[in-house]
Amino acid sequence: MKMFRRSLLVAGLIGGVALTALPAHAQTACFTRDQAIENLKTSSGEEVEARGLSNDGKVMFELLTSENGSWTLLMTHADGKTCLVGSGQSWTAITAMKAKGPAV
């Protein structure tokens, strides 16, 4: 009986360590796309500035920014689940400039 209790304790400790060592993507905050977009608009004033599809077409990435410089990158899966990829401050939009010079 004592050995059984010890085995349960060890199994519980190993299980607890395994759960706290989940990869970052398993700990990511996910919502429906509509919830995520509305929450970011309401809480941070962020709106979709750009979006693109992965090469296989199964994932859409969206960049949301605000006038105060906050930004968020979202990833939406084909099933509609949207997850936070990253966020931060000091976003600056860069406008592409055409090179000036002789035509080649």
pLDDT at 40: 95
Question: Within a domain: residue 82?
Answer: yes
Structural domain boundaries, residue 68:
24-88
Q: Does 32 reside within a domain?
A: yes
Residue range 10-59, pLDDT digits in tens: 333 334 333 344 454 455 689 999 999 999 999 999 999 999 999 999 99
Total number of domains in the chain: 1
Does residue 99 sit within a domain? no
pTM value surpassing 0.75: no
Q: Are 46 and 84 in contact (CB under 8 A)?
A: no
2, part of any domain: no
Q: Is 63 inside any structural domain?
A: yes
Look at residue 77 and tell me if it is in a domain: yes
Higher pLDDT, 29 or 87: 87
- Whether 45 maps to a domain, the answer reads yes
Tell me what pLDDT residue 96 has.
75
